[in-house]
Structure 1
Amino acid sequence: MGGFPNKPIRHASIELAASASSRSPEPSVSDQAKFSKRLASLGKQSQWASALSELVSAQLTHISAHNAVATACAKNWAWASALILIGAARHQTLRVNARTYGAGALSCQVAASWEHCTQLLMDASLLGIEVNVVCCTALLHACGQAAEASRALAVLSLMKATAIEPTQVSVGAAMSASAQEGRWKDTLALLNEADEARMRPNLVCCNALLTSLEKGRRPEQAMAVLESMERPERPATESESDESVWLRLPRPDVISYSAVISACEKSGSWRSALALLWRMQARSLQPNAVSFSAAISSCARGGQGQLALQVLRMMQMCLQQPNLVCYGAAISSCEKNAGWEQAQVLLEEMMSEQLQPNLVCFNAMLSSLMMAGKGGRATRLLSSMRGALLQTDIISYSATIAACSRKRQWCESIELLRLMSEEAVEPTCIALEAAFAACEEHGKLEHVHLLRPMSEHALDSCRSLT
Structure 2
Amino acid sequence: MQPTAAALGSAAGRPSGGSGDLERRSPMTISSWIVACGCLDDFSTKHVPLSIFDIGAVISSCEKAHSWQVAFRVLASVPNERLDVNVVMLNSSASAAMKGRDWQAALSLFGRMPIIRVDRDVISFNATISAHDKEGQWRSALYLFSDIQGTSFAADAISFNATMSACARSGLWQLAHHLLSDMPRVRLAATVVSFSTVVSACESSGQWQMALHVISAMQRAAILCNVITLNSAISTCEKAGQWQVALDLLHSSTLKMSANVITFNAAMSACQKGGQWQLVFQLLTAMLRAGLAADVVTFSALISACEPCGLWEQVLLLHAEMARSQVVPNRITYSASISACRAGKWQLALDLFVTMQARGLEADVISFNAAISACEEAAQWQLAHHLLSDMRTARMAVNVISFNTTISACEKAGNWRLALQLLSEMDDFRVRHDEISFNATITAVAKHGPWEMALQLFQSMPSARVLPDIISFNAAISACEKKGFWQLAMMILSGLATAQMQPTATSYGSAISACEKSSDWQAALEIHRTIFHDRLANAITCNSALFALARGSQWLRAGFLLSKMRESRIPADVVSYSAGISACEQGDVTATQPAPFGSVRCLGTGSSLK
Q: Does TM, scored on the shorter chain, surpass 0.5?
A: yes
Give 2:290's aligned residue. 162
Q: Could you tell me how far apart the structure 1 residues matched to 2:305 and 2:523 are?
A: 51
How much has 1:213 moved relative to structure 2?
A: 0.7
Give 2:24's aligned residue. none
Once the two structures are overlaid, the 10-residue window that deviates more, 200-209 or 314-323, is 314-323
Counterpart pick for 1:86 among 206, 215, 221: 215
Tell me if 1:118 matches 2:247.
Answer: yes
How much has 1:139 moved relative to structure 2?
A: 0.7
Q: Could you tell me how far apart the structure 1 residues matched to 2:205 and 2:489 are?
A: 50
Q: For residues 222-247 of structure 1, what are the alpha-carbon distances to aligned partners after superposition, in whole Å with 9 as ceiling and x for unaligned?
A: 1111122333xxxxxxxxxxxxxxxx
Amino acid at match of 1:190: L
How much has 1:448 moved relative to structure 2?
A: 5.2
Give 1:330's aligned residue. 441
Amino acid at match of 1:203: R
Give 1:98's aligned residue. 227
Counterpart pick for 1:72 among 179, 198, 201: 201
Once the two structures are overlaid, the 10-residue window that deviates more, 58-67 or 420-429, is 420-429
How much has 1:131 moved relative to structure 2?
A: 1.2
Amino acid at match of 1:62: T
Superposed, 1:1-16 pairs within 5 Å as none
Tell me if 1:432 matches 2:560.
Answer: no
Give 1:230's aligned residue. 357
Amino acid at match of 2:291: A
Amino acid at match of 2:545: L
How much has 1:88 moved relative to structure 2?
A: 0.8
Superposed, 1:266-305 pairs within 5 Å as 266-305=377-416
Q: For residues 11-64 of structure 1, what are the alpha-carbon distances to aligned partners after superposition, in whole Å with 9 as ceiling and x for unaligned?
A: xxxxxxxxxxxxxxxx99x94345433422332233332222111111223222
Larger Rg: 2
How much has 1:326 moved relative to structure 2?
A: 1.7
Amino acid at match of 2:217: A
Q: Could you tell me how far apart the structure 1 residues matched to 2:221 and 2:290 are?
A: 31
How much has 1:453 moved relative to structure 2?
A: 5.0
Q: Could you tell me how far apart the structure 2 residues matched to 1:366 and 1:154 are?
A: 48
User: Would you say the 8 A contact 2:180–2:194 is kept in 1?
Assistant: yes
User: Would you say the 8 A contact 1:191–1:205 is kept in 2?
Assistant: no
How much has 1:126 moved relative to structure 2?
A: 5.2
How much has 1:387 moved relative to structure 2?
A: 5.8
Superposed, 1:308-387 pairs within 5 Å as 308-337=419-448, 339-386=450-497
Q: For residues 363-388 of structure 1, what are the alpha-carbon distances to aligned partners after superposition, in whole Å with 9 as ceiling and x for unaligned?
A: 21111111123222112222333565
User: Would you say the 8 A contact 1:401–1:434 is kept in 2?
Assistant: no
Superposed CA RMSD: 2.8
TM-score (norm 1): 0.81
Q: Could you tell me how far apart the structure 2 residues matched to 1:203 and 1:406 are?
A: 52
Q: Could you tell me how far apart the structure 2 residues matched to 1:387 and 1:61 are?
A: 57
Amino acid at match of 1:464: S
Once the two structures are overlaid, the 10-residue window that deviates more, 413-422 or 136-145, is 413-422
Counterpart pick for 1:133 among 245, 261, 267: 261
Q: For residues 51-106 of structure 1, what are the alpha-carbon distances to aligned partners after superposition, in whole Å with 9 as ceiling and x for unaligned?
A: 22111111223222111221122223333222211111112222322233223222
Q: Could you tell me how far apart the structure 2 residues matched to 1:373 and 1:86 are?
A: 65
Cα separation, partners in 2 of 1:66 and 1:261, compared to 1, 3 Å = same
Cα separation, partners in 2 of 1:122 and 1:455, compared to 1, 3 Å = closer
How much has 1:127 moved relative to structure 2?
A: 4.8
Amino acid at match of 1:250: L
Tell me if 1:152 matches 2:277.
Answer: no
Amino acid at match of 2:245: H
Aligned residues: 418
User: Would you say the 8 A contact 2:543–2:579 is kept in 1?
Assistant: no
Q: Could you tell me how far apart the structure 2 residues matched to 1:127 and 1:80 are?
A: 17
Q: Specify every segment of 5 or more residues in structure 1 that has no aligned partner in the other structure, as ranges.
A: 1-26, 232-247
Give 2:310's aligned residue. 182
Cα separation, partners in 2 of 1:387 and 1:195, compared to 1, 3 Å = same
Q: Could you tell me how far apart the structure 2 residues matched to 1:56 and 1:117 are?
A: 25
How much has 1:220 moved relative to structure 2?
A: 0.5
User: Would you say the 8 A contact 1:71–1:106 is kept in 2?
Assistant: no
User: Would you say the 8 A contact 1:230–1:252 is kept in 2?
Assistant: yes
TM-score (norm 2): 0.63
How much has 1:407 moved relative to structure 2?
A: 2.9
User: Would you say the 8 A contact 1:340–1:369 is kept in 2?
Assistant: yes
User: Would you say the 8 A contact 2:435–2:468 is kept in 1?
Assistant: yes
Tell me if 1:203 matches 2:314.
Answer: no
Give 1:217's aligned residue. 344
Cα separation, partners in 2 of 1:455 and 1:291, compared to 1, 3 Å = closer
User: Would you say the 8 A contact 2:225–2:255 is kept in 1?
Assistant: no
- What is the identity percentage for the equivalent residue pairs of Structure 1 and Structure 2? 25
Superposed, 1:394-409 pairs within 5 Å as 394-409=505-520
Q: Could you tell me how far apart the structure 1 residues matched to 2:395 and 2:499 are?
A: 45
